[in-house]
Amino acid sequence: MAQDPTGAQAADTKTRQVYSLLRERIFQGQYFAGMRLPSSRELAQELGVSRTLVVSVYEQLVAEGYLEGRLGSGTYVVDLENRKPARFEKSDQSFHSSRKQPDDGYGFDGVDFRPSFPSMQHVPRKKWREVAYKVYDQLDDWEYGYAGPAGHWGLRLQICDMLLNTKGILCDPEQVVVTAGATQAITLVCKLLLQPGETVISEDPTSTFIHGIFQTAGADIVPVPVDTQGLRVQDIPGQARPRLVFVTPSHQFPFGSILSIGRRMELLEYARNTGCFIIEDDYDSEFRYAGMPVHALRELDAERVIYIGTFSKNLFPALRIGYMVLPRDLVAPMEGIKRLMDMHTPTLDQAVLARFIADQHLQRHVTRMKRVYSRRRKLLIRSLSETFGNWIQVSGDAAGLHLIAEFSGHIFDEERVQALAEKGVRVYPAEKYAIVKGRFEDKLIMGFGDVAESQIPEGARRIAGVLREQGEQ
């Protein structure tokens, strides 16, 4: 009679499971050196397996030197003398106390004026946890499987409602693709539309990671300056035939200007005439401290503008959820690329975020954070004014989580930035974000989103102290 292969495989799997369990207990110290192990009968009853299986595992562990049998006494754990594999090392610290501080600037022990970073002290942890518990309890079985590449349908619906109410954008959920933050969204647009050697028009200055994405795609980046009305459309070179134009029209990063209606119309006409697409990055404009929210560029042309947003600033960066609103002709090919990239952005967090928005928690959080950021913004402006007087000018503070401080006649090069860091204050020169260098050496981009109010005046004083030491004041 033929042997049942299924039964043999099941027995082999159980043996391996018990073997791995006992070996891990030894490495983790649960079965410590010199300890007498339970009898094969006792362990078989504990684990719900046959005694024969346990005997087989004991024999294997004895053969490999983990255990030793003592005649008439039992089976004991051998002293392995620190020969533990690294993955089984037991820490004397708790989970929280043993977590390493990230070496990426977040753990700076001083006053850090990092721009465009939200307050980590005000993350809505409790409410997020409550919503997550409810959502997990109510998910259907199929929702734990693979989702469509464009994202959770409920979240896409909520994004459409949110954009209509806050930015004047009218779109359908089918046009929304959920991404792992704005970074992935822009990267996907490049994969879909950009070939190596093609031209991208970019605001200058702008975020350094934007430069990196376009450079990685093999683009020829043509920088165009900005002023108080945003991108200087009239300065786009006449010979340029771009595939993409990158702008931050609602709150230019880093200078904070709003793309005027006249220039919006000029830019859209330029896009129609050249056949290029516009990437509209709208990352923190919901934190506006005067006047009504600025409507999106996409409101004026849904077929030339790819709108990109993120929840990193109005909730927290670790969420890693962003989105893009696409012209209809780009939806299907974008979904195809997204499927190849990562199948889909993690669905469970999307489901929680959808409920978080639907229950108005996001709106209430943004309203609350506007008050927090407004206080910090005013305090930073006052501290700079009191410390430096008339020889400093502040601009770009009408929205967002940072402002521009211009120290006329003073240069913030690498040496000075390092000197400030050594005195316990971290600053970010505007020159760092420029493609064309040499125009913004006297400007700092000073973030106030994640700086405690008690630290802001001290940070201003430390900057002044370093400038005095270097004989610049």
| Residue 88 clears pLDDT 80, i.e. is over it | no
Copy the structure tokens of residue 140. Answer: 């259907």
| Residue 300 clears pLDDT 90, i.e. is over it | yes
| Residue 213 clears pLDDT 80, i.e. is over it | yes
| Residue 62 clears pLDDT 90, i.e. is over it | no
Pairing of strands 392-395, 402-407: antiparallel
What tens digit of pLDDT does each residue of 355-404 get? 999 999 999 999 999 999 999 999 999 999 999 988 899 999 988 999 99
End-to-end CA distance of the chain: 96
| Residue 298 clears pLDDT 90, i.e. is over it | yes
| Residue 426 clears pLDDT 90, i.e. is over it | yes
| CA distances, 72 to each of 39, 75, 76, 117, 266 (Å) | 12, 10, 12, 67, 93
Q: How far is 274 from 178, CA to CA, in rounded Å? A: 28
CB 445 within 8 A of CB 433: yes
What tens digit of pLDDT does each residue of 239-279 get? 999 999 999 999 999 999 999 999 999 999 999 999 999 99
| pLDDT average, residue stretch 219-237 | 95
| pLDDT average, residue stretch 86-100 | 46
Q: How far is 392 from 380, CA to CA, in rounded Å? A: 13
User: In 3-state terms, what secondary structure has residue 226?
Assistant: strand
- Least confident among 157-161, 306-310, 378-382, 411-415: 411-415
What pLDDT does 190 receive?
A: 96
What pLDDT does 48 receive?
A: 85
What pLDDT does 89 receive?
A: 43
Which of the given ranges, 2-16, 44-58, 267-281, has the highest pLDDT on average? 267-281
- In sequence order, which residues have a C-beta less than 8 Å from that of residue 259 and are 6 or more positions away? 229, 230, 231, 247, 249, 250, 252, 267, 297
Q: How far is 155 from 92, CA to CA, in rounded Å? A: 42
| Residue 84 clears pLDDT 90, i.e. is over it | no
- Least confident among 232-241, 277-286, 415-424: 277-286
Domains and their CATH numbers in the chain: 5-77 (1.10.10.10), 112-120+370-469 (3.90.1150.10), 122-363 (3.40.640.10)
For residue 86, name the pLDDT band (cuts at 50, 70, 90): very low
User: In 3-state terms, what secondary structure has residue 200?
Assistant: strand
What pLDDT does 5 receive?
A: 43
Q: How far is 434 from 342, CA to CA, in rounded Å? A: 32
| Residue 24 clears pLDDT 80, i.e. is over it | yes
What pLDDT does 109 receive?
A: 78
| Residue 471 clears pLDDT 90, i.e. is over it | no
| CA pseudo-torsion sign 253, 254, 256, 262 | negative
Copy the structure tokens of residue 26. Answer: 């030894």
Say if pTM beats, i.e. exceeds, 0.85.
no
What pLDDT does 221 receive?
A: 96
pLDDT exceeding 70 applies to what percent of the chain? 91
Question: Which residue in 235, 327, 233 sits closest to 279, CA to CA?
Answer: 327
| Residue 120 clears pLDDT 70, i.e. is over it | yes
| Residue 95 clears pLDDT 60, i.e. is over it | no
What tens digit of pLDDT does each residue of 319-333 get? 999 999 999 999 999
What pLDDT does 45 receive?
A: 87
